[in-house]
Amino acid sequence: MTRTAARRYLLTLEHLGYVASDGKLFWLTPRVLRLGQSYLESARLPRIVQPFLQRVTAGTQESAYVSVMDGDDIVYIARNGSNRAMNTGYVLGSRVQAQVTAAGMLMLSLREPAWQENWLAAHELKAYTSHTIASKDRLRIELARVRAQGWAISEQQLELNHRGIAVPLRDRRGEVAGALSVTMPMGHESSEDAVARVLSVLSETAQAMRHLI
């Protein structure tokens, strides 16, 4: 894009109210938030899943989410549950690198092996905590394990003392449309107990949603 074209587009966005300028520099205005809100209000998936997220929260007493892949990140498009404190803040529209969440690991694992290898070759794995998987060889092993079992658990990958558990959200054709997940503080509950407590609720809810997506 030429400098002239970029400035012309910026001036158009300024006229529409999406950016402001001091004549030299440009910056976004709060009106940009309308774009994301428009998606949440008009897209079919966020509206369909909300009652089911309430079911997950009631059955697990944990915060429930639906997320989708967008490029290299997952984006949270629906949620239900208490606003438990997490430094990362899983609010609607939050974007998180896929490999550090249960939902993202799940969706990565269900891609074709050739796609996974291309993805791994193009990315440097960032360590957010001392538990983050930062080795590509180890990540390959974890993705294979998640794919084989059909669900994912992620512990302390993005933030200490928090875990997530996720199952695939498939449409009526069997294609992966996103992931249904819960997040929780780890406390004194073991991984096995947490999975036993929430996995069946997630799986049954995802199956119930399938014919609507």
Write the CATH number for 69. Answer: 3.30.450.40
Instruction: Tell which residue, 131, 189, 191, 193, has the closest CA to residue 160.
Output: 131
Q: What is the pLDDT of residue 90?
A: 67
Q: By three-state DSSP, how is residue 85 classified?
A: coil
CB atoms within 10 A of CB 73: 15
Residues 91 and 130 reside in one and the same domain: yes
Domain total of the chain:
2
Q: Do the domain assignments include residue 38?
A: no
120: in domain = yes
Cβ 31 vs Cβ 18: under 8 Å: yes
Same domain, 26 and 131: no
What gap in Å lies between CA 163 and CA 195, rounded to an integer? Answer: 10
Domain interval for residue 19: 3-32
The pTM for the full model equals: 0.81
Q: State the pLDDT at residue 85.
A: 46
| Residue-level pLDDT, tens digit, the chain, 213 residues | 899 999 999 999 999 999 999 988 999 998 887 777 777 666 778 888 989 999 999 999 999 999 999 887 899 989 998 655 444 456 777 888 899 999 999 999 999 999 999 999 988 899 999 999 999 999 999 999 999 999 999 999 999 999 999 999 999 899 999 999 999 999 889 999 999 999 999 999 999 998 888
* Residues making up the chain, counted from first to last: 213
The answer to whether residues 57 and 27 belong to one domain is no
22 and 76 housed in the same domain: no
> Angle formed by the axes of helices 191-209 and 44-60, to 10°?
140
DSSP state of 172: T
